[in-house]
Amino acid sequence: MGKKTIAISIGDINGIGIQLALQNHKKISKWCKPIYCIDKKLLTQAVKLLDISVPKNFNIFGKYDNFKIKPSKVSKKSGKFSYESFLNAINLVKNGKADAVCTLPIHKKGWEKAGISYVGHTDMLRDIFKKDAIMMLGCDKMFVALYTEHIPLKDVTKYIQKDRMVDFLINFYKSTYFDKVAVLGVNPHAGDNGVLGNEEIIINKAIKQANKILQKDIFYGSVVPDVAFAPTFRKHNKYYIAIYHDQGLSPLKALYFDESINISLNLPIKRASVDHGTAFDIAYKNKAISSKSYINAIKYLVNH
């Protein structure tokens, strides 16, 4: 079987995405055939600013508005480019020209300046494919899926509905086939049997029904959130579903910040991303940057 073709969106051109792509091209080309969604004019600017050369067989795709790269600056033009780079990567897969999409970091404010209505990559994928994409982050040591994502904390409990959660759990299993998944509670002590809230009653019913539908005991909980990521618990548990964003991502980033990736599940295409931002503070300064997240994202797409 031949190498997979991976369409790579560059992200915000004023950030570190293009440096990651250029510096890791030789390594990832051993595992896959990358296509970089950038054009010659922007690429020429970037390599001049970085004082590096374009690697051999650095295949590019798409035509974009020509503008001056402004390192470390949030701008309308760089926001528009990162959106179009991502859209081109998606279309390469949709049109059978690539097997998967890897995304480098965008700047959400850049998208806003460019008049793009999406909050980020996952929202855009949901709209394009009309599917309820599931956001999962992590690395081989631990993966955390998010039941709710970018919503205010005060609104989280409104989303704890039995049928909605059952659908989420079923879709999650069918996207991963993980065999043992801890579902966190939302209240301290997982509600203490209703003393500190009744949301866990709903969560527990959803877990029971999902397992019944799957005819397997895949999900268990509600797990007390403040012990779920303790070393003893993690010895026997690798997969988690967090009820809200920071509940899952705070421990994940504390443990595996450099290694984690962002994966979109429950979609007709495969997409993985770095789990870090544009790093404007070091962009185009020829400083060493960690490639672990980018490399792990590529490896995930190659192996799944």
Beta strands in 42-87 (DSSP E): none
Q: In the predicted model, what is the mean pLDDT of residues 24-31? A: 96
Q: Determine the Cα–Cα distance for residues 283 and 111; give it in Å rounded to an integer.
A: 18
Q: What is the pLDDT of residue 103?
A: 98
Q: Is the pLDDT of residue 99 over 90?
A: yes
Q: What is the pLDDT of residue 193?
A: 66
In degrees and rounded to multiples of 5, residue 301 shows phi and psi of: -65, -35
Q: What is the pLDDT of residue 268?
A: 96
Q: Which of 105, 75, 80 is nearest to 8 (CA)?
A: 105
pLDDT (tens digit, 9 = 90+) per residue, 178-210?
999 999 999 877 656 664 668 999 999 999 999
Q: Is the pLDDT of residue 95 over 80?
A: yes
The CATH number assigned to the domain with range 142-258 reads: 3.40.718.10
Burial of 20 from C-beta contacts in 10 A (0-12 / 13-18 / 19+): buried
Same fold, 1-134+262-304 and 142-258: yes
The mean pLDDT value of the chain amounts to 94
pLDDT band at residue 257 using 50, 70 and 90 as cut-offs: confident
pLDDT band at residue 286 using 50, 70 and 90 as cut-offs: confident
The CATH number assigned to the domain with range 1-134+262-304 reads: 3.40.718.10
pLDDT (tens digit, 9 = 90+) per residue, 116-164?
999 889 999 999 999 999 999 999 999 999 999 888 899 999 999 999 9
Burial of 100 from C-beta contacts in 10 A (0-12 / 13-18 / 19+): buried
Every domain of the chain and the residues it spans: 1-134+262-304, 142-258
